[in-house]
Amino acid sequence: MEDKSPNTTCLIESSVANAILSTIYIVIFIGGTIGTFITIFLIIGVNRLSVTTTSVVNLLVAHGLFLITVPFRIEYYIQNKWKFGLPFCRLVSAMIHIHIYITFIFYVVMLSMRYISFFKQMDKIEFYRTFHSLVASGAVWALICILILPLVFTKYGATASINETQCFQFQDEFQNQSVMTMNYIIIAVMFTVVCFLLAVQIFIIAKVMKKVGRPFFAHQETWVHLKSLFFILVMVTCFFPFHMFKIYYMKHTKECFYYNEICLSITALSCLDFLLFGLKTYYQKVTSNLSV
């Protein structure tokens, strides 16, 4: 059947784009699910009062909520037909954007707490009671639900003119100048914050290198800060391509729809953070037990 969608002017064929997208999301779903279960297993018995542990738990929740919607994306890209209605399409479409910024927020919180503990020479920053960590987490999620969900159901994709068998094609929203301005602000904030965190992390690692000397990688403190660097690199690798391309895409929506979708899918690779981190930690635990 001939593709009559407005994206046929794109330099990449829709069939090729759909194959790429379905492959990426399959990897994300499998890897993200495995990583989530590995991390849940690893944090059992860990200090629940730690702010870092609380951030990790909230990241797991954010990843898990997004991963629930991924099979619907995979089905759509394979079948090239949406079967679940426009309201659910809007929700599934919005979830990947919500996931980006919730993940970004908890990364920033986790890294900020680590930096504060380093400069104040504290072992870790903790809540006084488990109840306090639950209240803090609940307050963040309540704020997210109050601010974001009403906008998703009332504003996101509300002006899009698409049929019931299409999904994720809400690019007409960029014709609204306020939407473009908001996106420019978000992009500027994200770039500024990540670059600042990266600069601070490089400073800390340089200071630690000077302190511990050689061999640098033989010290536990080194690996603690390399873990922080890992999360910054996740943000750079997964979030920067999409937001950099969006600056161009907002004025070339018809020509670059599929490229934007591919860049957007790359943001979801952040779900693999705990898979890579968890496998390394699990391997260290196993090898240390075998050596005893």
Instruction: Kindly list the domain boundaries of the chain, sorted by start residue.
Output: 14-284
pLDDT means per 10 residues, the chain with 292 residues, are: 43 86 95 88 69 83 93 93 86 90 90 86 65 74 77 65 75 80 92 95 87 68 80 94 91 84 94 76 50 42
Structure confidence at residue 5 (pLDDT)? 45
CA distance 287 to 292: 9
At the topology level, CATH places domain 14-284 in Rhopdopsin 7-helix transmembrane proteins (1.20.1070)
Structure confidence at residue 31 (pLDDT)? 93
Structure confidence at residue 7 (pLDDT)? 43
Structure confidence at residue 217 (pLDDT)? 60
Structure confidence at residue 243 (pLDDT)? 94
Structure confidence at residue 49 (pLDDT)? 63
CA distance 273 to 239: 13
Structure confidence at residue 38 (pLDDT)? 84
Residue closest to 91 by CA, chosen among 81, 102, 99: 99
CB atoms within 10 A of CB 107: 23
CA distance 235 to 241: 10
Global pTM value = 0.84
Outline where 213-256 has alpha helix (H): 220-249
CA distance 263 to 106: 22
Structure confidence at residue 228 (pLDDT)? 87
CA distance 44 to 125: 19
